[in-house]
Amino acid sequence: MIRTATLAFAILTGLSSHAQLSIADSLSLSQIATLLEGLNVSVSNVTTTCHMRAAGEFSGASEIPFPHGIILSTGAVDDAAGANTSGSSGNAWMLPGDADLDSLAQASTYDACVLEFDCVPSGDTLLFNFAFASEEYLEFVGNFNDVFAILLSGPGINGRINAATLPGGVTVSINNVNSTTNPAYYYDNELPPGQYVTYDGFTTGLTAFAEVQPGGTYHFKVAIADAMDQIFDSAVLLEAFSFRSVDMSTRIPENTNASLRLAATTELLNLWMPTTEARVNARILSTTGALVRTFQIEGGLASLPIDVLEPGAYLVQVDGGSARLVGRFVKP
């Protein structure tokens, strides 16, 4: 089934009069694998454990932070398309929940939709763009806690980690991301009412990342479920082709004789370079490639305050003189 929401006029966000959101709830496992696979990763062994209408593909301009991707829901995914002008609704499939999500929500879960797959990365870091949406916003914040996770296991990982968290490791859920708690990551789709998406609220586009071993086989479990009741739907949105692997290991690819080194503490980023070097330019990038800060360093030790940066992994690029460095640091 495909459902499309359209609008006969341009809205304030600048979307054209032809903007629309289309959702198809009949995806094969091979189609899901194609949508998952991005840069420098191979995907295999895709499985889903969901109601037949609870997993699908979305595309088109809308309030959702991504134009194309996979949607997993506790209800019918095609119900997500449409103007948010009516009361909240949901589907009760009367299906079981998920034990991992029970633990995260600290409550019983229902109508779980689970996507699992294996992947082999070429680089030492895995990244994935996602968002969380729910009909429980904002009326039931603090009372119900629909939740999801992107659980990762494999070489170098002790047990499993949840890669779908805010900076600092906070689990994404309606209680942890809303208009008063971590509001920078929340999009209110009620005021004004959304024209293309029926969910009352959702997170901004977030990026999950994890350090991995190149060439290792890793297992992902993407799961979402209703918590405490089965009335109102929630969904996880995975951006198409954003599942990718990059090599962020510290290295000096162009001049192995350059003694350029990198280290970081909670408050400072320290770089050492030969005292014979002239002033060079340096950049700090996010794991998505967005420029965070530019600065200059000279020969010797340079210390840059990073206490204002959010916790997470960052990339440093230095280019000047005879020294070249592409390195990674993690802000605790």
| pLDDT of amino acid 132 | 92
CB 174 within 8 A of CB 185: no
pLDDT the model gives residue 307: 77
Tens of pLDDT, residues 240-272: 888 888 776 543 233 333 445 566 566 777 666
How much is the pLDDT for 316? Answer: 75
233 within 8 A of 79, measured Cβ to Cβ: yes
pLDDT at 12: 28
Residues of the chain within CATH 2.60.40.3080 domain(s) are 261-331
Query: How far is it, in rounded angstroms, from Cα 86 to Cα 157?
Result: 45
Question: What is the structure's pLDDT at 266?
Answer: 63
Give, as one character, the DSSP assignment of residue 182. Answer: S
Distance CA 155, CA 326 (A): 24
Q: In this predicted structure, what is the pLDDT of residue 277?
A: 54
Rounded CA-CA distance 213/154 in Å is: 9
Burial bucket for residue 9 (CB in 10 Å: 0-12, 13-18, 19+):
exposed
The confidence score (pLDDT) of residue 93 equals: 66
The answer regarding whether domain 261-331 maps to CATH 2.60.40.3080 reads: yes
How do residues 132-183 score in pLDDT, each as one tens digit? 998 888 776 766 567 788 999 999 999 999 888 887 678 888 888 889 998 8
| Integer angstrom CA distances of residue 103 from 107, 145, 164, 185 | 7, 12, 15, 23
Weakly modelled stretches of the chain, pLDDT under 70: 1-19, 86-93, 140, 142-145, 168, 228-231, 248-266, 270-280, 287-289, 298-302, 318-330, 332
* Residue 81, CA atoms < 13 Å, CB-side half-sphere: 23
Q: Encoding tokens for residue 110?
A: 């229902």
